[in-house]
Amino acid sequence: MLDGLGIGALPDAGRFGDEGANTLGHLFACKGEVHLPNLLALGMGKLLPAPWTDSGSAAIGAYGRMAERSPGKDTTSGHWELAGVVSQKPFPVYADGFPEEIIQTFETLIGRKVLGNVVASGTEILKVLGEKHLETGFPIVYTSVDSVFQIAAHEEVVPLGTLYEWCRIAREKVLVGEHAVGRVIARPFKGRAGNFWRTKGRRDFSLPPPSPTLLELAERAGLDVWVAGKVSDIFAGKGVTEHLPASSNNEIMEEITRGIRSHFHGLLWATLVDFDMLYGHRNDVEGFVRALEEFDVWLGENLPELKPGDILFVTADHGCDPTREGTDHTREYVPLLVYGEGLIPSDLNVRESFADLGATAAELLQCSPPKDGSSFASKLFPKGDLRR
């Protein structure tokens, strides 16, 4: 799952202020030729032709687009929908910071004041409030255009265990009911004024999905469910049989490779976070393209490693167009690329929901289907050849 790799504005993008968004298309337009031979071979060139792509050549995989049915463009609802659960209402967001009663309740429960309570970039707010945090010991609370309550604290001032406990308090006792944000995020950091950096101690405290997802259904069927990076947190750990710790694209790709080469039977879900976190949100076109090209190299090295019966899905959870003013996610279609031995290369057209992927994976894994989505498994393999 390539975090933030949208491929064109959805019909309702105007409701979200995202008219004309097209993450991959604008990367192509800004950079000219982008070297993605393996993604293009899987079918990406059919979805978003560019002058330098050979859109007339046959794809080696199945390809299509997916629209989001959930009424948002955030990480949590995107992941849940990919796993077969469509959210019925958007998570709350706080463009002007959190209401005073939320902050006061949180301060009372943790026994100290907080700094910030603003919408901010996680790196920029450390430049503004990091030194004051060192002086006072008050945690930095901030949000974004996503549905998140983020708490930043220096590891030498607030031990990680304390920071995580504050996050649990916020999750379980403060951010409930109408204020139930998608995620409470621990953002530990180190360094001194002028040189603060975020550490790998990040943890996400998410709401549990409202109904069983593909992960839980696969686990109930006795299958392995391996997840890399932040995926376990996004699903509140439900359905996960093995968590593969990783925080960067390179680390996550290493874990996928390890999974491919291991003898496990079930589902491996990995979300490559750098596209969104480091490049989309920071309007870094160069970095986004470089990371895509690095992933494509990894893809070319690992496609031959897939074993008979393995099926690879490549997709995204929303857009994050780095060429637009602002740093918000963008309401876009996401790519759907599928590859495996014996698969019929074909055009899967536009799927009405991300949940179609979850329904398809459930059918291929021979587990119970999630509540939402329509399987397209029959389009992938010859009739009667759905045994994986």
**DSSP for 252-316, written as a single string:** HHHHHHHHHHS---EEEEE-B-HIIIIIITTT-HHHHHHHHHHHHHHHHHHGGGPPTT-EEEE--
Question: In terms of domains, do 313 and 335 share one?
Answer: yes
> Could you tell me the CATH number of the domain that includes residue 354?
3.40.720.10
- Residue 49 pLDDT greater than 90, yes or no: no
Q: How confident is the model at residue 327 (pLDDT cuts 50, 70, 90)?
A: confident
Given 181, 206, 231, the domain boundary residue is 206
Question: In terms of domains, do 126 and 265 share one?
Answer: no
Question: In terms of domains, do 314 and 345 share one?
Answer: yes
Return the exposure string of 348-383: e unless at least 16 CB atoms fall within 10 Å of the residue's CB, then b: beebebbbbbbbbbbbbbebebbbbbebbbebbbee
HEC readout, 112-171? CCCEEEEECCCCHHHHHHHHHHHHHCCCEEEECCCCEEEEEEECCCCCHHHHHHHHHHHH
Number of domain units in the chain = 2
Q: What angle do CA 90, 96, 208 make, to 5 degrees?
A: 35
Cβ burial, residue 133 (10 Å; 0-12/13-18/19+): buried
Share of the chain above pLDDT 90, in %: 87
In a domain, 5, yes or no: no
Neighbouring CB atoms inside 10 A of 59's CB total 20
- Residue 52 pLDDT greater than 70, yes or no: no
In a domain, 386, yes or no: no
Cβ burial, residue 54 (10 Å; 0-12/13-18/19+): exposed
Question: In terms of domains, do 196 and 302 share one?
Answer: no
What's 14's DSSP letter?
G
Between 17 and 122, residue with greater pLDDT: 17
In a domain, 267, yes or no: yes
Question: In terms of domains, do 196 and 216 share one?
Answer: no
Assessment of whether the complete model's pTM goes beyond 0.85: yes
| pLDDT at residue 388 in the model | 46
Question: In terms of domains, do 114 and 157 share one?
Answer: yes
- Residue 69 pLDDT greater than 90, yes or no: yes
Task: For residues 134-156, give the mean pLDDT.
Answer: 95
In a domain, 282, yes or no: yes
In a domain, 385, yes or no: no
Question: In terms of domains, do 30 and 112 share one?
Answer: no
Domain that holds residue 200: 100-206
In a domain, 84, yes or no: yes
Given 206, 241, 274, the domain boundary residue is 206
Question: In terms of domains, do 127 and 140 share one?
Answer: yes
Mean pLDDT of the chain: 94
Residue with tokens 């030194």: 131
Question: In terms of domains, do 198 and 226 share one?
Answer: no
Question: In terms of domains, do 172 and 313 share one?
Answer: no
Given 186, 206, 226, the domain boundary residue is 206
> Could you tell me the CATH number of the domain that includes residue 137?
3.30.70.1250
Task: For residues 20-36, give the mean pLDDT.
Answer: 92
Q: State how far the alpha carbon of 231 is from the alpha carbons of 144, 206, 287, 347, in Å.
A: 20, 10, 23, 29
Task: For residues 202-223, give the mean pLDDT.
Answer: 96
In a domain, 145, yes or no: yes
In a domain, 202, yes or no: yes
Q: State how far the alpha carbon of 250 is from the alpha carbons of 270, 271, 291, 292, 295, in Å.
A: 12, 11, 9, 12, 9
Question: In terms of domains, do 215 and 80 share one?
Answer: yes
Cβ atoms of residues 234 and 81 within 8 Å: no
Q: How confident is the model at residue 55 (pLDDT cuts 50, 70, 90)?
A: low
- Per-residue pLDDT tens over the stretch 81-105: 999 999 999 999 998 999 999 999 9
Question: In terms of domains, do 351 and 374 share one?
Answer: yes
